[in-house]
Amino acid sequence: MTTAKICGISTAESMHAVIAGAASHVGLVFFPPSPRHLSFDAAMALAARTPDHVRRVGVFVNPEDGLLEQAVAAGKLHAVQLHQTPPARAAHIRQRFARETWAAIAVRSRSDLDGVREYVGAADRILFDAKTPPGAALPGGMGVRFDWSLLDGFRHPIPWALSGGLDAANVGEAVRRTGATLVDTSSGVESAPGVKSVDKIAAFLQAVAAS
Ligand SMILES: O=C(O)c1ccccc1NCC(=O)[C@H](O)[C@H](O)COP(=O)(O)O
């Protein structure tokens, strides 16, 4: 069975669609340059609307402890997803905050997978995401897909999830092709950057359930 994380939720309406569609995880972004960035107050309000069986994942880019402290408390986070965060720093965060820790690996070529093993003991899950273009404002959430065949034969040392350019039309193929048991999407369920579509969220979650 494949489960899904819908990332970058910022309204009560889209949170309702995530819950109604039976997503396993929801992503709350704490990165000011992102159109999905949440204030602590907004995160607190969304967390209050979310049952605990939908796991709240805070999304961060090499965060300081101070940001993590406030975000973990406001969002009642079950997990933290770390982009551009070296393994030693991820290990510190995992130990200090005692939250399930995901390390995002930005993938464009096979050599990008080399760093995965360094996260053994430092992260609980790897999120394979597409590398965004050089100079891009964001390290994720840009609808960029990577070549899934790069994962062929890769021996995953810890649990993992697939991300990057997934939508209702391609997620079934992505699951079949990679064997992913957890998939993640953000812009694939949006009508504009940062604007979630409840219809697209429902269609994505139906496609995952059918995969
Ligand atoms: O979504 C963001 O704005 C974001 C900002 C900073 C770091 C990571 C971010 N997103 C991470 C995610 O988990 C996205 O769901 C993932 O990159 C896939 O995005 P997309 O290709 O748009 O589906």
Residue 68 CA to residue 55 CA, distance in Å, equals: 17
**In angstroms, what is the span from residue 89 Cα to ligand 1's centroid?**
20
Flag residues of the chain having pLDDT under 50.
Answer: none
Q: For position 108, what pLDDT does the model report?
A: 95
**64 DSSP assignment:** -
> Which residues have a Cβ under 8 Å from the Cβ of 8 and sit 6 or more positions away?
27, 29, 34, 36, 59, 141, 186, 190, 194, 196
Q: For position 13, what pLDDT does the model report?
A: 97
Q: For position 124, what pLDDT does the model report?
A: 98
**In angstroms, what is the span from residue 4 Cα to ligand 1's centroid?**
14
Q: For position 188, what pLDDT does the model report?
A: 97
* Residue minimizing CA distance to atom 22 of ligand 1: 141
The CATH code of the domain at 3-209 is: 3.20.20.70
Handedness of CA 47, 186, 71, 120 (dihedral sign): positive
Q: For position 63, what pLDDT does the model report?
A: 98
**In angstroms, what is the span from residue 8 Cα to ligand 1's centroid?**
7
- What residues are paired with 100 via a beta bridge? 79
Domain segments of the chain as ranges: 3-209
Question: 70: closest CA among 102, 103, 28?
Answer: 28
Q: For position 42, what pLDDT does the model report?
A: 98
**In angstroms, what is the span from residue 82 Cα to ligand 1's centroid?**
11
- What is the pTM (predicted TM-score) of this model? 0.96
Atom number, ligand 1, closest to the C-alpha of residue 140 = 17
Q: For position 132, what pLDDT does the model report?
A: 92
- What residues are paired with 3 via a beta bridge? 182
C-alpha distances out from residue 124 to 2, 157, 163, Å? 18, 10, 16
Residue 85 CA to residue 103 CA, distance in Å, equals: 7
Q: For position 22, what pLDDT does the model report?
A: 97
C-alpha distances out from residue 110 to 113, 124, 147, Å? 6, 22, 9
Q: Is 86 in the pocket of ligand 1 (CB under 6 A)?
A: no
pLDDT digits (tens, 9 = 90+) for 151-208: 999 999 999 999 999 999 999 999 999 999 999 999 999 999 999 999 999 999 999 9
Question: 193: closest CA among 140, 128, 125, 127?
Answer: 140
Q: Which residue has the tokens 């933290």?
A: 80
* Complex ipTM more than 0.95, yes or no: yes
* Residue minimizing CA distance to atom 1 of ligand 1: 141
Q: Is 139 in the pocket of ligand 1 (CB under 6 A)?
A: yes
Residue 101 CA to residue 71 CA, distance in Å, equals: 14
